[in-house]
Amino acid sequence: MAASSGALPVVDLAPFFTEDDSGGAARATAAVREACLTHGFFRAVNHGVPAELMSRALQLSAAFFALPDDEKARARPAEGAVAPLPAGYARQPAHSADKNEYVLVFDPKLGFNVYPSEPAGFREAVEECYTKFTELGLLLQEVLNECMGLPPGFLRDYNGDRSFDFMVALRYFPATEEENNGLSAHEDGNCITFVIQDGVGGLEVLKDGDWVPAEPVDGSIIVNIGDVIQVLSNNRLKSATHRVVRKPAHRHSLAFFFNIHGDKWIEPLPEFTTKVGEAPRYRGFVFNEYQQLRMRNKTHPPSRPEDVVHITHYAIT
């Protein structure tokens, strides 16, 4: 599949932050709907997250990853913390096709992580980013509620527990002649994902058989919807395949996952099945069950690519 010269849709979220709307919010909602129908991805601008904060967080993230390994290893779960995923610094296992290292940051109010003392300001920057991304996630969840034609407040009530959200700071190693993959092609299993990245680039989205670059643009946020929204909408909205292609330099990014509680039951909603006379395309499942299957893809990679578990594991054929 070739790289595409196309670009991701751009959505200006400014109307959601002003009282003098003049129809701007409706137009922005329509733009989000169209992007989720066609690409599953879009570039958000005027989104309410300060550009200076995102730039500072990326710079401090790069400084963190430049520390010696024993210093980075100090980023770990707080004593006695119970989290839905293992927090702290880690590298992808040696047998993994993905060539990166990361630190998993949970809701700072719950104290999941012990941070290293250096770089100064790293903790404050990522915690502030976490708060801002949570606010943006709540806003876009309301927008998606409108896009999907659901009763007012449905997604807010359905997904009102924020304890499974998390954020990851990532560093991808420079490409070699033998290997250039930074993150294998995949879809996100959650509800909404936000990505900010430095100027190195490498994120690509699969659209109609071509890879569309999600180029770095200062101050913007890459937004995509995940498998949960695709299932709820009975395939109406798209959880798109994406990847990171490694470049000759280290690449740094932050990814925030606006998630859903692990105990939630996920299945196509009546608005996309019985109410419109369509059969459900997925059987229902508990979200944790799916997450555990996805995690096993990484910890015990199948010998055959066709055995990797995707959302199609629940597809009704």
- How far CA 164 is from CA of 106, 108, 161, 259, 308, in Å, comes to 8, 12, 7, 6, 24
Give the amino acid at 9: P
| CA-based nearest residue to 106, from 127, 136, 133, 132 | 127
Active-site residue flag, 251: yes
Q: Cis link prior to 119 (omega < 30° from 0)?
A: yes
Three-state DSSP class for residue 172: strand
Place of tokens 């290997």: 179
Virtual torsion, Cα 290, 292, 296, 302, nearest 10 deg: -30
136-167: b (≥16 Cβ within 10 Å) or e: bbbebbbbbbbbbebeeebbeebbeeeebbbb
For residue 238, the Cα-to-chain-centroid distance in whole angstroms is 14
Helices within 66-182 (DSSP H only) = 69-72, 122-147, 154-158
226: tokens are: 């995940």
Among 33, 43, 246, 251, which one carries the catalytic annotation? 251
Active-site residue set:
251
